[in-house]
Amino acid sequence: MTHRNPDGLGAASDPPLPSSPARSSPLDLNLVRTFLAVYRSGSFTAAGQLLGISQPTVTTQVRTLERQAGRELFARLPRGVAPTEYAHDLAARVMDPLDALMAATGHGPATEGAAAPVHLAGPAELLCTRVLPALAPLVADGVQLRVATGLTEPLLDELRAGRHDLAIATSRPRGRTLTAVPLLDEEFVLVAAPAWAERLDGRVTTEGPGVLHTIPLVTYAEDLPIARRYWRHVFDRRLTRRASVTVPDLRGVLSAVTAGAGFTVLPRYLCQAELASGALVALHETDDPPINTAYLVQRPGLPDNPHTTRVRDHLLRLGPTW
C-alpha cells in the first residue's frame, strides 16, 4: 500500500535514486527554478502556486532533477518537504545566479505582473502581537504575506538559504552576509497576578528577589533565559532555581501567570493590556529595565520584490518603541 503526503508523493513506493555523483551534463534551468520554488516555500503545492503550475508538475520536475543530479533533494514529510544537505548546497550555488538571470530576462518577481508574496519570519509572539497588526494596512492594499515562526538562529540560517525575504531576529546576526537594522526595543518587566502581588506587599523592592523563591516561576524554557537576564541586570545576582512551569511560547507564559500560576518576566509590549487592566501587577519597578533590541534582517544581493521593500520600509518607519 502506498502512503502519500499532501504533496502527492508516494513515500513508501518511490523507486530509489541512484547513489552515484551528479551527472556532468548541465541541469535544466526550468527544473532548477522549480527546485528553488520548493526550497523557498517548503512545499510542492506552495511552489506550484508561486510558479503558476500544478502540484503534479512540480512533483514530476523535482523527481526529474533528482534523477539528473543522482541525489535526493527533499525529505518527504507528512506536510510539505525538508531540504537535504545536498539541496542546501545546490541552492547556495544556483540561487543568486538564477535569480539574476530571471530578473534580466523579464521573469523575476518584480516583472511578473503581481508581485510575489513576501516571506516573513520571526518570533511567534512578536509577529502575532505587534508585526502582523502593523502590516494589516499593507495586506488590505494587496501585499501578500507568508509567515513563518521560530527561534532566531534557525530562521537566520533559512534566510541565508533563501527561504525567507525578511526575518525579525532577537539578536544581531553574526557575519556580513545579512543586512540587519534595529527595529524595536523590548523592555522586560517582572509580573504576577494581583493575589501574588498582595501577598508580597512590595517586599521585592524592600527585601530583594529572595522573597520570590516561595512563589512558582513560569518561564519560556528550562534555562530561564529572560528571567536570568532580568536577575543579572536588575538585581546584580544569578537566578538559581528551577521553573515550576515552562511554556515555549510567551503567550502561554502570559496566560498561565495571568491565571495565577506564579510570577514571570515578560516583554512589556506583550503584557501591556493586562498591566493596564490590573490583571497583572508589576512586582518591581526600575529606572533601568533590561532592554533587548530586535532587528529586521534581509539577505542582500537578491532582486528586490517591491512588496518586500514596502514591508521593510513600513516596519522601519514605526520607530523603536511601537
Q: Which residues contact 162 (CB under 8 A, 6 or more apart)?
A: 36, 39, 40, 91, 95, 299, 302
Q: Which three cell numbers stand for residue 145?
A: 504575506
pLDDT of residue 2: 41
d(CA 168, CA 136): 17
Q: Which three cell numbers stand for residue 190?
A: 517582572
d(CA 174, CA 163): 18
Residues in the chain: 322
pLDDT of residue 322: 65
With CA atoms as reference, report the closest residue to 180 among 171, 192, 188, 191.
Answer: 171
Query: What single-letter amino acid sits at 40?
Result: R
Residues of the chain with pLDDT under 70: 1-26, 102-115, 300-304, 320-322
pLDDT of residue 292: 93
d(CA 35, CA 68): 13
pLDDT of residue 98: 77
Sign of the CA dihedral with 13 first, then 19, 24, and 29 last: positive
